[in-house]
Structure 1
Amino acid sequence: MLGVGQKFPEYKVTATVSNDIKTAFQEIGSDSHPGKWKVLFFWPKDFTFVCPTEIVAFGKLNKDFADRDAVLMGASIDSEFVHLAWRQNHADLKDLPIPMLADVKRELSSALGIIDPGAGVSQRAVYIVDPENVIRFVMVTDLSVGRNSTEVLRVLDALQTDELCPCNWNKGQETIHV
Structure 2
Amino acid sequence: MGIIGSSIKPFNATSYYQGKFVPVSDTDTQGKWAVFFFYPADFTFVCPTELEDLANQYEVLQGLGVEVYAVSTDTHFSHKAWHDSSPAIGKINYHMLGDQNHVLANNFGVLRENSGLADRATFVVDPDGVIQVMEITSEGVGRNAEELVRKIKAAVYVRANPGQVCPAKWEEGAETLAPSIELVGKI
What is the TM-score when the length of structure 2 is the normalising length? 0.89
- Identify which of 86, 100, 106 aligns with 1:104: 100
**For residues 47-62 of structure 1, what are the structure 2 equivalents within 5 Å?**
47-62=43-58
Conserved 8 A contact 1:127-1:138: yes
User: Is residue 127 of structure 2 the alignment partner of residue 114 of structure 1?
Assistant: no
Partner of 1:75: 71
Q: CA deviation at 1:9?
A: 1.2
CA shift for structure 1 position 117: 3.8
CA contact (8 A) 1:2 1:112 kept: no
* Distance (Å, rounded) in 2 between the aligned partners of 1:74 and 1:68: 18
Structure having the higher helix fraction is: 2
The percent of aligned pairs where both chains have the same amino acid is 30
Shift of 1:174: 1.1
Specify the alignment match of 2:184 in structure 1: none
TM-score (norm: length of structure 1): 0.93
Runs of 4+ in 1 over 3 A off after TM superposition: none
Q: Contact conserved, 2:13 with 2:98, CA < 8 A, in 1?
A: yes
The residue number in structure 2 matching 1:164 is 165
Deviation at 1:2, TM superposition (A): 5.6
Which residue identity does 1:150 align to in structure 2? E
Displacement after TM superposition at 1:37 (Å): 0.5
Match of 1:141 in 2: 137
Q: Secondary structure in 2 aligned to 1:161? A: helix
Shift of 1:28: 0.7
Tell me if the contact between 2:119 and 2:139 (Cα under 8 Å) persists in the aligned partners.
yes
Does 2:152 align with 1:151? no
1:68 Cα deviation after fit: 1.0
- Report the CA distance between 1:58 and its aligned residue: 0.6
Match of 1:17 in 2: 17
Aligned residues: 174
State how far apart, in whole Å, the 1-side matches of 2:178 and 2:134 are: 25
C-alpha distance in 2, partners of 1:143/1:33? Answer: 27
State the Cα RMSD in Å.
Answer: 1.3
Aligned partner of 2:41 in structure 1 is: 45
Residue 90 (structure 1) aligned with residue 91 (structure 2): no
**Larger Rg, first or second structure (1 or 2):** 2
Counterpart Cα distance in 1 of 2:172 and 2:69: 22
Confirm whether residue 127 of structure 1 aligns to residue 118 of structure 2: no
CA distance in 1, matches of 2:2, 2:69: 18
Q: Does the 8 Å CA contact 2:52/2:91 hold for their aligned counterparts? A: no
Map Cα deviations across residues 150-171 of structure 1 (whole Å, 9 max, x no partner): 1111111111111211111111
Aligned partners of 2:73 and 2:116 also within 8 Å: no
Alpha-carbon deviation of 1:107?
0.8
1:174 aligns to 2:148 (yes or no): no
